[in-house]
A and B are shown apart, each in its own frame.
Chain A
Amino acid sequence: MTQFAPGDLVRIRDDYPPGHIRTPIYLRGKEGVVERYFGAFGNPEVLAYNLKGPKKDLYKIRFRAADVWPDYQGSPKDVIEADIYEHWLEKLA
């Protein structure tokens, strides 16, 4: 029933709306892989204003550090993992 499954290739929306956002700027527009599904959680972008709204599916997304930072100085094995709500994810073919 969820929109994404572990192993799916995704891109973080390259979008810059105003307001309270929990998707860090350094990950926007970056491509990663769904590592796991955590369940549906209250949407912080709505809860931050003491409003109610539908719960959002939350996923752990794994990014290669070298994909996030083109000049990354580390091991090519290094990854960044972040928890991203469904409405920030775009499926890649």
Chain B
Amino acid sequence: MRSPQDIGGLPEGPVDTSEHSLTFWEKQADGLRAAVGAKGLMSSHESRRAIESLGHDAMERLTYYERWTAALSRQMVDRGVLTQDEIDAKVAQVRQRLHDSGELELAPGEAEKFA
């Protein structure tokens, strides 16, 4: 009944007021989402719906830009811009390429997330 993003009033701990600059990849993700939005392929409303549709689990475990990225992926499939097979194949290809070039250093728990 309660949508995963609808958290106003729920009990939570103290606010971490420290500053975090965006990482390079988060800036890239932000720019990509803006560019896709400017093409009329994902409005802010569609973006929010796509994020909500990731479910409670994703909302609690994923970081902000991880949610955006997951939502963009889903939206591109929903809009027929990309297919899930294309995305899975490209993810595997990028992973292999980064591995071969020595740029891949997956954090613990990350390898299990690949399809």
Contacts and interface: CB of A to CB of B under 8 A. Distances in A.
Asked whether any CB of A lies within 8 Å of a CB of B in the complex, the reply is yes
A22 B52 CA distance: 12
A21 B8 CA distance: 14
A47 B46 contact: yes
Interface in A35-57: 42, 44, 47-50
A73 to B, nearest CB: 13
- Interface residue SS majority, chain B: loop
A79 B3 CA distance: 24
A87 interface: no
Interface residues of A, number: 15
Contacts, number: 35
A20 B45 contact: yes
Contacts of B52: 20
A44 B45 CA distance: 6
A58 to B, nearest CB: 14
A25 B6 contact: yes
Interface in A1-40: 16, 20-21, 24-27
Please list the 8 inter-chain residue pairs (A to B) with the smallest Cβ-Cβ separation, ordered nearest first: A48-B49, A47-B45, A26-B9, A48-B45, A20-B49, A26-B8, A44-B45, A24-B8
Interface of A: 16, 20-21, 24-27, 42, 44, 47-50, 68-69
